[in-house]
Amino acid sequence: MSKILDLQIQCPNCRQQYQAKVFRTLWGDGCTAANFTSRLKDDTNIVPCPHCGYSFRVPLGLMYVDVKTGFAVWYEPQPDPNIDDEAKQYAAIFGADSYYAKAPRVKDWEEFKHTIRRYYTGELKATPITKFDFSSLKQQSSKSATPQKKSGCMGVLLLLLIPIALGIVLI
Closer to Zn ion at the Cβ: 53 or 79? 53
Give exposure, 33-44, as e/b (b: 16+ Cβ within 10 Å).
Answer: eeebeebbeeeb
Verify binding: residue 93, Zn ion, rule CB under 5 A. Answer: no
Q: What share of the chain is helix, strand, coil (3-state, %, to 5)?
A: 40, 20, 40
Q: Which parts of 43-62 interact with Zn ion (CB under 5 A)?
A: 49, 51-52, 54
Work out which of 2, 13, 19, 130 binds Zn ion, going by CB under 5 A: 13
Closer to Zn ion at the Cβ: 51 or 114? 51
Continuous segment of H or E residues that includes residue 166: helix 134-170
In angstroms, what is the minimal distance from the CB of 58 to Zn ion?
13
* CA pair distance 58, 41, nearest whole angstrom: 14
In angstroms, what is the minimal distance from the CB of 49 to Zn ion?
3
Closer to Zn ion at the Cβ: 52 or 154? 52
Verify binding: residue 40, Zn ion, rule CB under 5 A. Answer: no
Closer to Zn ion at the Cβ: 5 or 14? 14
8 A C-beta contact, residue 15 and residue 51: no
8 A C-beta contact, residue 6 and residue 19: yes
Verify binding: residue 3, Zn ion, rule CB under 5 A. Answer: no
Tell me which stretch binds Zn ion (CB under 5 A): 14-22, 58-66, 74-82, 129-137. 14-22
The one-letter code for the residue type at 118 is R
The one-letter code for the residue type at 64 is Y
Site residues (vs Zn ion, CB under 5 A): 11, 13-14, 49, 51-52, 54
